[in-house]
């Protein structure tokens, strides 16, 4: 499978997906740490891809997303943004409902 196809599949299969350096429990950079903390604070489970373990995705995703940096948060197939946007949305109370609604749709479709 080509890298772009793998990225598309990951984004399609995961309602809430964070491309980051490291993992939520062991982030490998400060920005990924802050982004995953904000996401975990929303209280919904989310998928993540460690771009350090996937150099092909690390190279290809910025081109596909037209977004140069990591982390990248994708919700319902749409790029939300990087660390600054995630934190700003969290502080304004905009991230929580976005994540909650995506999780509810995901859970509803899994139970059909």
Place of tokens 């993992």: 23
Q: Does a structural domain hold residue 111?
A: no
Q: For residues 7 and 25, what is the distance between their CA atoms, to the nearest angstrom?
A: 22
Per-residue pLDDT of 58-99, as tens digits, reads 999 999 999 999 999 999 999 999 999 999 999 999 999 999
Judge contact between 80 and 26, C-beta under 8 A: no
What does the pLDDT average to over 24-33? 97
Domain that holds residue 54: 3-104
Q: Does a structural domain hold residue 96?
A: yes
The pLDDT, as a whole number, for residue 43 is 97
Read off the pTM.
0.95
The pLDDT, as a whole number, for residue 34 is 98
Annotated binding-site residue? 83: yes
As for how many domains the chain has, the answer is 1
**Orientation angle between helical segments 3-13 and 55-65, nearest 10 degrees:** 80
Domain of 41: which CATH number? 3.40.30.10
User: What is the average pLDDT score of the chain?
Assistant: 96
Annotated binding-site residue? 46: no
The pLDDT, as a whole number, for residue 14 is 97
Q: For residues 99 and 46, what is the distance between their CA atoms, to the nearest angstrom?
A: 9
Annotated binding-site residue? 58: yes
The pLDDT, as a whole number, for residue 109 is 87
């Amino acid at each position: 499978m080509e890298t772009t196809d793998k990225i598309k599949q990951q984004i399609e299969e995961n309602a809430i997906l964070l491309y980051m350096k490291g993992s939520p429990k062991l982030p490998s950079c400060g920005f990924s740490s802050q982004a995953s903390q904000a996401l975990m604070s929303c209280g919904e489970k989310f998928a993540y891809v460690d771009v350090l373990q996937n150099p092909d995705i690390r190279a290809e995703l910025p081109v596909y997303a037209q977004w140069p940096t990591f982390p990248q948060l994708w919700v319902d197939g749409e790029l939300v943004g990087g660390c600054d946007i995630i934190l700003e949305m969290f502080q304004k109370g905009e991230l929580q409902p976005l994540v909650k609604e995506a999780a509810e749709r995901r859970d509803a479709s899994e139970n059909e």
